[in-house]
């Protein structure tokens, strides 16, 4: 561990900040949704009741102050607190659902901020999240050669959720992401603005609903719940970033629902595009809903079982061709069938947080894909990709208080994007890696987190680069 810290300067101890913004969704008619929202008339009646109660308490306060009896001092203070609390509630009710706090829990697999629209009565919902990340790499690779990487301080993403609840059965939800603080030309061409999802929900009943639009592919533990306070680590797990890979979204439609302790989501979406596959895997084959080629479609689904509160196990899959009409130089068609799966579990109990993911991907017609993509030697796409991680954290303040939280954590990952390669190709030893991350997260409140950790990366080529991270994130 001493070697991991080598080369890091005092600037590595700085903590940073993150921005987040909430969630929104929509739904269809002719249905009985899981929860009925109050009618507009109910809101008006609530406003009148709050105004009347505040007026009554203020009159009582004025009378006490006029009497000036010292024995009533405690009662005066209590009434003042009641008036302040009711006044805040009145203001929230007047402004409407868009000003309500972010949801405290996920709905239909989304993060708390992304779930916010489900709690509004009608109209607009606004939320979001953000994160700033400081990265200080070691000056040397594991083999002793110069690393060549410089320390960076990055507004990784600022994300806004905009939603609209048309009625009790139709919802719209969207996530607009700004990466790396800016977009532009030349030297400023660093980030991008993109939609992470934008879809309509048609809520029929709790166990059966319809979703259509740009949807998140329901794999792993991070792709759908990627708000920084929700997961441990200053950076997302490498397995979930590269192999699954987050944030993965695509145009499509499907069904979802909750059947007691079991939740499911199944979508038909545009498939991956093998033209983007590399030795690093399928990540660059994501089409992201931008003029997605749809010669080949894919079926993706997920099943989660909440065995008891705090204990969840599940599995997901993504299956479909990825050739998208491409051909080899000889004119042969490319199927490029993808079979991706993952098994996942998480357990929270009295301050303990445990997570685990195992995943694998099998790619067909890899020789043809490599030929079409101009890849040879150890730069070819692997036929089999494997990986997984286990993570544990414990809130050392849990025996004493709910807030704040102080969570030391450790995560171990193994991943290999060239677990098996076709004949005539070789596996790059750098593709077979192990990542150990250990650090601490501090949450003054559940919506805000500060994380500091070290990441020790090793590979079979000896080119692993260790890094120090500090991050600050929030959601609302």
Tens of pLDDT, residues 183-237: 877 666 678 999 999 999 999 999 999 999 999 999 999 999 999 999 999 999 9
- Asked if the peptide bond before residue 245 counts as cis, ω within 30 degrees of 0, the response is yes
Give the per-residue pLDDT at 72. 65
Residue 346 corresponds to which tokens in the numbers above? 């998480």
**294, part of any domain:** yes
Q: What percentage of the chain exceeds 70 in pLDDT?
A: 86
**104, part of any domain:** no
Give the per-residue pLDDT at 38. 44
Least confident of 21-35, 68-82, 194-208, 288-302: 21-35
CB neighbours of residue 376 within 10 Å: 12
CB neighbours of residue 206 within 10 Å: 14
- pLDDT, one tens digit per residue, over 116-164 is 999 998 999 999 999 999 999 999 999 999 999 999 999 999 999 999 9
Burial grade of 460 (CB within 10 A; 0-12, 13-18, 19 or more): middle
For range 250-277, the mean pLDDT: 97
Give CA–CA dist 70/449, Å, rounded: 44
C-beta separation of 112 from 105 below 8 A: yes
C-beta separation of 314 from 344 below 8 A: yes
Give the per-residue pLDDT at 187. 60
- pLDDT, one tens digit per residue, over 37-77 is 444 456 677 777 878 888 888 888 888 777 776 566 777 77
- Asked if the peptide bond before residue 212 counts as cis, ω within 30 degrees of 0, the response is no
**Residue 289 reports pLDDT greater than 90:** yes
**377, part of any domain:** yes
Q: Of 324, 300, 320, 304, give the one whose Cα is nearest residue 312.
A: 304
**465, part of any domain:** yes
Cα-only R_g, the chain: 26
Give CA–CA dist 341/381, Å, rounded: 18
Give the per-residue pLDDT at 54. 86
Tell me phi and psi for residue 190, to 5 degrees.
Answer: -115, -40
Give CA–CA dist 359/381, Å, rounded: 17
**262, part of any domain:** yes
**56, part of any domain:** no
For range 159-172, the mean pLDDT: 96
Cα 81 to Cα 68, 71, 101, 241, 455: the distances in Å are 18, 18, 20, 47, 47
**Across 24-33, 71-80, 320-329, 409-418, which has the greatest mean pLDDT?**
409-418
Give CA–CA dist 387/398, Å, rounded: 32
C-alpha torsion 214→219→221→226, nearest 10 = -20
Owner of token pair 């405690």: 74
Give CA–CA dist 405/144, Å, rounded: 38
Higher pLDDT, 33 or 240: 240
DSSP string, 23-62: ------SSS--SSPPPPHHHHHHHHHHHHHHHHHHHHHHH
Give the per-residue pLDDT at 32. 36
CB neighbours of residue 175 within 10 Å: 30
C-alpha torsion 196→197→198→200, nearest 10 = -170
In terms of residues, how long is the chain?
476
Give the per-residue pLDDT at 183. 86
Burial 128-144 (b: 16+ CB within 10 A, else e): bbbbbbbbbbbebbbee
State the total domains in the chain: 1
Cα 378 to Cα 162, 353, 422, 433: the distances in Å are 44, 39, 11, 15
- pLDDT, one tens digit per residue, over 391-425 is 999 999 999 998 999 999 999 999 999 999 999 99
Give CA–CA dist 79/82, Å, rounded: 5
**Residue 169 reports pLDDT greater than 80:** yes
- pLDDT, one tens digit per residue, over 89-111 is 766 666 554 545 444 678 999 99
Tell me phi and psi for residue 275, to 5 degrees.
Answer: -65, -20
C-alpha torsion 448→454→458→464, nearest 10 = 100
Strands 405-420 and 384-394: antiparallel
Give CA–CA dist 368/205, Å, rounded: 46
Cα 34 to Cα 37, 169, 326, 401: the distances in Å are 10, 9, 45, 33
**85, part of any domain:** no
C-beta separation of 267 from 253 below 8 A: yes
Beta-carbon contacts of 473 under 8 Å, excluding residues fewer than 6 positions away, are 17, 18, 20, 129, 130, 131, 132, 227, 228, 229, 448, 449, 451
Task: Identify the domain containing residue 257 by its residue range.
Answer: 2-29+125-475
**51, part of any domain:** no
CATH code of the domain covering residue 460: 2.40.160.10
């Amino acid at each position: 561990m001493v070697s991991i810290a080598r080369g890091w300067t005092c600037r590595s101890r700085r903590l940073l900040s993150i921005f987040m913004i909430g969630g929104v969704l929509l739904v269809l008619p002719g249905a009985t949704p899981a929860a009925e929202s109050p009618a507009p008339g109910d809101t008006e009646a609530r406003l009148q009741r709050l105004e009347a109660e505040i007026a009554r308490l203020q009159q009582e306060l004025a009378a006490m102050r006029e009497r000036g009896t010292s024995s009533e001092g405690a009662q005066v203070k209590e009434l003042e607190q009641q008036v302040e609390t009711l006044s805040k509630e009145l203001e929230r009710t007047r402004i409407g659902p868009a000003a309500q706090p972010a949801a405290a829990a996920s709905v239909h697999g989304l993060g708390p901020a992304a779930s916010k629209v489900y709690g509004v009565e009608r109209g607009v919902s606004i939320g979001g999240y953000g994160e700033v990340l400081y990265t200080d790499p070691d000056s040397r690779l594991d083999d002793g050669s110069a690393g060549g990487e410089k320390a960076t301080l990055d507004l990784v993403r600022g994300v806004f959720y905009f939603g609209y609840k048309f009625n009790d059965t139709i919802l719209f939800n969207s996530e607009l992401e700004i990466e790396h603080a800016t977009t532009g030309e030349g030297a400023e061409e660093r980030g991008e603005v993109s939609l992470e999802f934008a879809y309509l929900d048609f809520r029929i009943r709790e166990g059966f609903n319809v979703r259509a639009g740009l949807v998140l592919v329901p794999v792993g533990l991070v792709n759908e719940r990627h708000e920084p306070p929700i997961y441990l680590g200053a950076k997302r797990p490498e397995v979930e970033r590269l192999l699954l890979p987050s944030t993965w979204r695509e145009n499509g439609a499907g069904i979802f629902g909750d059947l007691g302790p079991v939740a499911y989501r199944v979508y038909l979406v545009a498939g991956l595009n093998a033209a983007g596959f590399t030795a690093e895997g399928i990540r660059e084959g994501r089409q992201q809903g931008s003029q997605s080629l749809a010669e080949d479609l894919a079926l993706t689904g997920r099943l989660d079982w909440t065995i008891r509160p705090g204990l969840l196990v599940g599995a997901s899959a993504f299956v479909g061709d990825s050739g998208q009409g491409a051909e080899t130089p000889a004119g042969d068609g490319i199927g490029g069938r993808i079979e991706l799966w993952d098994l996942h579990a998480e357990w929270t109990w009295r301050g303990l947080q445990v997570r685990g993911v195992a995943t694998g991907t099998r790619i067909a017609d890899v020789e043809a894909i490599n030929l079409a993509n101009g890849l040879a030697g150890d730069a070819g796409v692997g036929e089999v990709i494997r990986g997984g991680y286990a993570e544990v954290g414990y809130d050392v303040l849990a025996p004493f208080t709910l807030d704040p939280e102080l969570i030391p954590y450790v995560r171990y990952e193994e991943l290999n994007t060239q677990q098996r390669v076709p004949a005539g190709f070789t596996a790059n030893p750098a593709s077979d890696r192990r990542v150990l991350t250990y650090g601490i997260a501090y949450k003054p409140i559940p919506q805000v987190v500060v994380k500091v950790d070290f990441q020790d990366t090793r590979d079979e080529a000896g080119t692993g680069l260790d890094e120090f991270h500090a991050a600050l994130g929030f959601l609302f």
